């Protein structure tokens, strides 16, 4: 059904994988003896009930409409299709679901998983995101992946025929990879791509087998200069193919962006359900961070005992919201609307900090110095920025958006180079935060949530 309401996303974390990849620091676990799927299903449904109760609103406030659901992991394509269908039905019983809501499931491209695609489609999944990671068998082996390139291509063909939308991930900046090698692999990948592709640089995460190898000098990743060259190859080639970056690592044709991930980056509201899941819920008008127990069996036990598996339920202070909104929003090519930041958190970055970053070529002020090169999307960005999801209206009517509060009110966005060093850009801006007029902040804060 389609009911106007605040856009709301649901993330379901499935924590199990067939094998642990040596670079991975996600909350993923291997259970060679299998898992009790019925038990986990019951726990997911119960935690959903708890969240629905927690965020139920007084009748005079706006309702929520589920605009996207995302099954991530771990390897959600290890779930039975019936499990997925039961969870989707349960979500639809708790909240209105927007017509055409995006329902994504992450899948590994093995033949076993591909055999379940039809069942996921029947359950309601309309988008699949596949972890191909490389189009070179030798590289897949080094990444510890258990599928082959041939299997991945076969699974991709099935996905293309089964789902309305599909995407796949590749990892680049791998040990020894040169820009020319990446150019060749990316050329092949872009031939296989539909309207969305995710391209992640390999990062060495602490406490992984890759971190130990790296520390021992046995795994040497490209240095910063080569990594930047690889990043620029990626930006140029995807833009030339009509798949410009709309986020640091995500590329899509206009309108084909991952709406669920956009909800995160636009600092919307979402429930995180399952072991280790994070969420941002608005509870009694206050944005609240949730973090769930990471161990799957312990999480299920917590849910059975008290209705949820959260180990942290933390109301966020305005300053924390400002940091988060900036960090998430500057990942996006569309950038951050500073007037929204002011209304939400009551602060604004200083003009000097913004101009310093603009001078360094790391930041751009939209409307003052528009860059309509192929890397950006021109006017489309402004339109996309207005909406929170498919069929979901703009956050505010244009007149209200243009109302000016405080000193710096335009949208800022990181340039492609700025996104490459985003943490430093955000740190610089956050260090310059100054309070805006308190009355305007207090008047508008409720509306921003």
Using CB under 6 A as the binding rule, the residues of this chain from 131 to 160 that contact ligand SF4 are 131
* Of 30, 3, 167, residue with least CA distance to 95: 3
* Of 200, 171, 194, 169, residue with least CA distance to 253: 194
Phi, psi of 334 (to 5 degrees): -75, -20
Nearer to ligand SF4, 74 or 124 (CB): 74
Nearer to ligand SF4, 202 or 392 (CB): 202
Nearer to ligand SF4, 31 or 417 (CB): 31
Residue 156 CB, nearest distance to ligand SF4 (Å)? 16
Determine, following the binding rule CB under 6 A, whether residue 74 of this chain makes contact with ligand SF4: yes
* Of 333, 342, 393, residue with least CA distance to 363: 333
Residue 278 neighbours by CB under 8 Å, 6+ apart: 272, 289, 290, 291, 292
Mark the segment that binds ligand SF4 (CB under 6 A) among 48-56, 72-80, 185-193, 354-362.
Answer: 72-80
**Quick check: helix, strand or coil at residue 282?**
strand
What span, in angstroms and rounded, lies between the C-alpha atoms of 307 and 119?
29
Q: Which one-letter DSSP state was computed for residue 308?
A: -
Determine, following the binding rule CB under 6 A, whether residue 302 of this chain makes contact with ligand SF4: no
Residue 396 neighbours by CB under 8 Å, 6+ apart: 447
Query: Angle at which helices 422-431 and 318-329 pack, to 10 degrees?
Result: 150
What span, in angstroms and rounded, lies between the C-alpha atoms of 227 and 248?
14
Size of residue set near ligand SF4 by CB under 6 A:
11
Q: Which of 5, 24, 42, 356 binds ligand SF4 (CB under 6 A)?
A: 24
Residue 74: asked if its preceding bond is cis (omega within 30°), the reply is yes
Residue 268 CB, nearest distance to ligand SF4 (Å)? 24
Question: Tokens standing for 391?
Answer: 């069929």
The tally of CA atoms less than 13 A away on the side-chain side of residue 189 is 28
Site string for ligand SF4, 96-125 (x = CB under 6 A): ------------x-----------------
**Quick check: helix, strand or coil at residue 311?**
strand
Determine, following the binding rule CB under 6 A, whether residue 26 of this chain makes contact with ligand SF4: yes
Residue 405 CB, nearest distance to ligand SF4 (Å)? 42
Determine, following the binding rule CB under 6 A, whether residue 28 of this chain makes contact with ligand SF4: yes
Contact 43, 309 (CB under 8 A): yes
Q: Which of 7, 21, 263, 429 binds ligand SF4 (CB under 6 A)?
A: 21
Q: Tell me which residue has tokens 């890759």.
A: 210
Site string for ligand SF4, 418-447 (x = CB under 6 A): ------------------------------
Using CB under 6 A as the binding rule, the residues of this chain from 242 to 301 that contact ligand SF4 are none
Contact 246, 334 (CB under 8 A): yes
Residue 111 CB, nearest distance to ligand SF4 (Å)? 15
Mark the segment that binds ligand SF4 (CB under 6 A) among 17-25, 171-179, 308-316, 429-437.
Answer: 17-25
Residue 24 CB, nearest distance to ligand SF4 (Å)? 3
Mark the segment that binds ligand SF4 (CB under 6 A) among 15-23, 46-54, 225-233, 302-310.
Answer: 15-23
Phi, psi of 168 (to 5 degrees): -145, 160
Mark the segment that binds ligand SF4 (CB under 6 A) among 14-22, 292-300, 322-330, 400-408.
Answer: 14-22
Residue 318 CB, nearest distance to ligand SF4 (Å)? 34
Nearer to ligand SF4, 272 or 329 (CB): 272
Determine, following the binding rule CB under 6 A, whether residue 17 of this chain makes contact with ligand SF4: yes
* Of 4, 2, 6, residue with least CA distance to 57: 6
**Four-point Cα dihedral 248, 182, 20, 194, nearest 10:** 60
Nearer to ligand SF4, 75 or 258 (CB): 75
Q: Which of 5, 20, 254, 435 binds ligand SF4 (CB under 6 A)?
A: 20
Interface with ligand SF4 (CB under 6 A): 17, 20-21, 24, 26, 28, 73-75, 108, 131
């Amino acid at each position: 059904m389609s009911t106007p309401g605040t856009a709301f996303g649901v993330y379901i974390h499935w924590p199990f994988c067939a094998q642990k990849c040596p670079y991975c620091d996600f909350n993923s676990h291997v259970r060679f003896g299998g898992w009790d799927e019925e038990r986990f299903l019951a726990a997911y449904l119960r935690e959903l009930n708890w969240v629905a109760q927690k965020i139920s609103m007084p009748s005079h406030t706006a309702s929520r409409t589920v605009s996207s659901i995302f099954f991530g992991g771990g390897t959600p394509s290890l779930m039975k299709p019936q499990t997925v269908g039961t969870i989707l039905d349960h979500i639809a019983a708790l909240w209105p679901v927007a017509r055409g809501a995006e329902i994504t499931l992450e899948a590994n491209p093995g033949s076993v998983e591909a055999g379940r695609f039809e069942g996921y489609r029947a359950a309601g999944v309309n988008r699949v995101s596949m972890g191909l990671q490389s189009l070179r068998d030798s590289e897949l082996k080094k990444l510890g992946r258990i599928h082959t390139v041939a299997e991945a291509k076969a699974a991709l063909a099935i996905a293309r025929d089964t789902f309305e939308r599909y995407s796949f991930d590749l990892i680049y900046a791998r040990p020894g990879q040169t820009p020319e090698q990446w150019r060749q692999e990316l050329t092949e990948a872009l031939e296989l791509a539909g309207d969305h592709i995710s391209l992640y640089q390999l990062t060495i995460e602490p406490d992984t087998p890759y971190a130990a190898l790296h520390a021992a000098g046995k795994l040497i990743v490209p240095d910063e200069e080569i990594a930047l060259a690889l990043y620029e190859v990626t930006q140029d080639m995807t833009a030339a193919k009509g798949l410009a970056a709309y986020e640091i690592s995500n590329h899509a044709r206009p309108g084909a962006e991952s709406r669920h991930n956009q909800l995160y980056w636009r600092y919307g509201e979402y429930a995180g359900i399952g072991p280790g899941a994070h969420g941002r819920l608005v509870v009694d008008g206050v944005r609240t961070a949730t973090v769930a127990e990471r161990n799957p069996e312990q999480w299920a036990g917590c849910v059975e005992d008290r209705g949820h598996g959260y180990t942290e339920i933390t109301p966020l202070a305005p300053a924390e919201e400002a940091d988060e909104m900036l960090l998430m929003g500057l990942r996006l090519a569309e950038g951050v609307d500073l007037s929204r930041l002011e209304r939400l958190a009551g602060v604004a970055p200083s003009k000097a900090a913004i101009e310093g970053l603009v001078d360094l070529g790391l930041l751009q002020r939209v409307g003052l110095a528009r860059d309509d090169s192929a890397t950006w999307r021109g006017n489309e960005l402004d339109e996309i920025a207005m909406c929170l999801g498919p069929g979901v209206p703009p956050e505010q009517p244009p007149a209200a958006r243009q109302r000016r509060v405080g000193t710096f009110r335009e949208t800022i966005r990181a340039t492609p180079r700025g996104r490459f060093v985003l943490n430093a850009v955000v740190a610089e801006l956050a260090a310059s935060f100054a309070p805006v007029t308190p009355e305007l902040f207090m008047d508008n804060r409720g509306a921003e949530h």
